[in-house]
Amino acid sequence: MKNEKLFEEYKYSNAGQYRAVMQSLGYTTEYNNGHILFSKGKEQFRTKIDTIKAHISTDTDLKPSLERISQKFDADKFQNLDYIDELKKDGFHIVNWGDIGDDGKDKFTVIDHNNKVCYTGRELFDYAIENGYLLDGKGTKVPEKGMSKLLSHNGKPAKVRYTANGISIHYKKERLEIPNEVLGHKLTDKEKQDLMNGERVQINGKKGNVYLEIDSDLNSIIVLSEKELSIPDRIGGDELSNADKYLLANGYSLDNKLLKDGNGYFIADISLTPDKHGISFGNMQSVPSHKAQELLKGGQLTEGQTLDDTGFNPAVKPDFNNQQSVDKYIEGLLSREDYTSLDQLKKQGCMPSNELMKQLSEKISDNKMIAMRKIFGLSETHKTMQGEIKIASSSTPSKSVGKDIGRPAIQTVGRMFSDL
């Protein structure tokens, strides 16, 4: 008669959950005049509903069970019978209730026979999102950089991200509204349009540069730090400028960057990885020290220098029919490192003259020239010595390059990733 008193062993929050426990143990249930008839083969017994309700528990510690199932549960398969049988091997039983409400998370109960507890699908989903679990069947957690995919929390679409203060939950808004001000920065019309065009806008936060972008799943503007975008301050001993960071944040690569590590100098193209969570190095070639010194002595200004101190006012628009006026405006924006406005200018059909580009090449840093060429889609003159350095066409050293050049490049990658 032990099974007649299972309500004393299991923790449940309503009579329906107790019926689910009995169903998971192979019993059929039938309600009749304040009693439930439980049947299994030749075994039958009746239990009063009031007796079942008297043992309802409201303070059950579900965390051990929720933590365990969150590492195994696949939210895309919970209605699959083969998958339900698979969960039984770990002591979990899923009882689906059919078409109850619009939300699938209200349609099933979880019974943990190992811990003798029951809870709703919604409780499982809410615990998972609050603790960073993606419920992919592998125990994967929300990445420490960036957002999760669209999930559900408290019955609402939401995404999860890690912050310095723990897990942050962002709920989907009914419609997108771009504010006039973010983190004390008043958004210009150009910045708002850039956001609408799917670009990241760089602004100055209290702890350095941050980037704004629209999350179309959430209908919201989110703020991303350089850390979340995997944009470091330095790579291979080379300090990244605002130009570099702007380009990386918006999907551009930094081509032919001369870098140095413990193995010596090398040239590489730098970009964010496709998932935007790391740094990728391509076309890597080691550079003899004496050739690197020649490149470093190319007469460029230091990164801290600017183009002018004339009190340039970006609000005063140029005469778009006058190339000299456009060039002066471009030069002013470049002096302020306002790459977002330069990008917008390009979309309006403006281009720098060849004369301006020639002047700039003689007095600004390589980083700024790369930004200019990338933004305006201009061809680039590579700083290489014919016969001394070859730019490979892939991320691995070219077979035409000797072993003395190829091996240091590979060693460099491992060392640089450890530095990052």
Please indicate, yes or no, if residue 255 is contained in any of the structural domains.
yes
Q: Is residue 378 part of a domain?
A: no
Domain boundary among 144, 170, 196: 170
The top-scoring range by mean pLDDT among 210-219, 261-270, 335-344, 376-385 is: 210-219
Tell me which of 161-165, 169-173, 201-205 is least confident.
Answer: 161-165
Same domain, 105 and 48: no
Tell me, yes or no, whether 255 and 395 share the same domain.
yes
Residues 47 and 136 in one domain: no
Q: Would you say residue 183 has pLDDT above 90?
A: no
Give the global pTM. Answer: 0.46
Residues 178 and 166 in one domain: no
Do 289 and 410 lie in one domain? The reply is yes
Q: Is residue 262 located within the same domain as residue 282?
A: yes
Asked whether the beta carbons of 400 and 390 are under 8 A apart, the reply is: yes
Report residue 124's pLDDT band, with 50, 70 and 90 as the boundaries: very high
The Cα 262–Cα 51 span in angstroms is 75
For residues 106 and 208, membership in a common domain is answered with no
DSSP state of 141: B
Same domain, 72 and 126: yes
Look at residues 35, 54, 73 and tell me which one is the last residue of a structural domain: 54
Domain that holds residue 111: 63-170
HSE-up of residue 198 (Cα within 13 Å, Cβ side): 3
Q: How many C-beta atoms surround the C-beta of residue 28 within 10 A?
A: 11
Number of domains in the chain: 4
Q: Is 335 within the bounds of a domain? A: no
The answer to which of 102-106, 147-151, 184-188, 389-393 has the lowest mean pLDDT is 389-393
Do 189 and 165 lie in one domain? The reply is no
The tokens of 413 are what? 């990658």
Confidence of residue 310 (pLDDT cuts 50, 70, 90): very low
| pLDDT on residue 290 | 79
Nearest alpha-carbon partner for 380 in 390, 367, 388, 370? 370
Rg of the chain taking only CA atoms, in angstroms:
31
For the chain, the average pLDDT equals: 76
159/68 same-domain check: yes
Angle at CA of residue 355, ends 353 and 358, nearest 5°: 115
263 and 251 share a domain?
yes
37-51, 126-140, 225-239, 405-419: range with lowest mean pLDDT = 405-419
Q: What is the pLDDT of residue 398?
A: 32
270 and 395 share one domain = yes
